[in-house]
């Protein structure tokens, strides 16, 4: 099911980021983009810090959006949101019918994640979801590589989408802008990625 498909320059892409962990509820922000070019809409929802509701909340946020019919790809910033709230990208793809790309700036430290999950009563379940996200692939970039996981989309199409949208930095615009909005709204002023 990881098919490659044709990419129009104005393909609608939803980038999702979370905000700082200030409270029990963590805001997530979605930025709907046309290609890497311009923002078409903003979505907002809430997940529980260290909870397990991220997959369902993101599914609902997408499915009730007026942009649902148009969105062709969802881009996530890693698969853990709001602490260790793990997104099941296979389920997100199955429930929404929209292919999912996970973007990471560095190869995840699985040993560290596994150690942290020991403190969760349902650590095993979270670890299963993490493994289900599939293999991690390295995508060479102009300055630095990025690492991806994917559901419902071929690696050649992922490369094209990343090339189309990473025009202002080495991360796709929908994610960069979702991050600016999430940090700006919660902290009063946006912060760049470390």
Interface residues with a copy of itself (CB under 8 A)? Answer: 27, 29, 38-39, 41-45, 61, 64-66, 168, 173, 177, 180-181, 183-186, 188-190
Minimal distance in Å, beta carbon 60 to a copy of itself? 10
HEC secondary structure over 127-144 = HHHHHHCCCCEEECCCCC
Minimal distance in Å, beta carbon 168 to a copy of itself? 6
Tokens 């150690």, residue located: 115
Minimal distance in Å, beta carbon 15 to a copy of itself? 13
CA distance from start to end of the chain: 34
Minimal distance in Å, beta carbon 38 to a copy of itself? 6
Query: Which residue number, 90 or 190, has a Cβ lying nearer to a copy of itself?
Result: 190
Query: Which residue number, 48 or 65, has a Cβ lying nearer to a copy of itself?
Result: 65
Q: How many CB atoms lie within 10 A of CB 18?
A: 26
Torsions phi, psi for 173 (to 5 deg): -50, -45
> Which residues is 77 bridged to in the sheet?
103
Q: Is residue 96 within a helix (H) or strand (E), and if so which, with residue range?
A: helix 89-96
b/e string for 55-80 if b means 16 or more Cβ within 10 A? bebbbebbeebeeeebbbbbbbbbbb
Query: Which residue number, 30 or 152, has a Cβ lying nearer to a copy of itself?
Result: 30
Query: Which residue number, 80 or 183, has a Cβ lying nearer to a copy of itself?
Result: 183
Minimal distance in Å, beta carbon 42 to a copy of itself? 3
Query: Which residue number, 153 or 164, has a Cβ lying nearer to a copy of itself?
Result: 164
């Amino acid at each position: 099911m990881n098919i490659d498909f044709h990419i129009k320059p104005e393909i609608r892409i939803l980038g999702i980021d979370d905000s700082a962990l200030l409270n029990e509820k963590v805001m997530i922000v979605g930025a709907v983009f046309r290609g890497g070019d311009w923002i078409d809409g903003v979505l907002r929802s809430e997940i529980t810090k260290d909870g397990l509701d991220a997959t369902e909340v993101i599914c609902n946020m997408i499915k009730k959006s007026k942009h649902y019919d148009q969105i062709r790809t969802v881009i996530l910033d890693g698969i853990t949101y709001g602490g260790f709230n793990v997104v099941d990208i296979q389920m997100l793809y199955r429930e929404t019918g929209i292919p999912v790309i996970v973007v990471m700036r560095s190869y995840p430290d699985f040993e560290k994640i596994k150690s942290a999950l020991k403190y969760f009563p349902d650590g095993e379940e979270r670890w299963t979801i993490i493994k289900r996200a599939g293999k991690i692939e390295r995508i060479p970039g102009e300055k630095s590589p990025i690492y991806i996981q994917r559901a419902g989309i071929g690696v050649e199409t992922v490369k094209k989408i990343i090339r189309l949208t990473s025009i202002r930095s080495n991360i796709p615009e929908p994610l960069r802008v979702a991050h600016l909005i999430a940090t700006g709204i919660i902290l009063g002023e946006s912060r760049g990625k470390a």
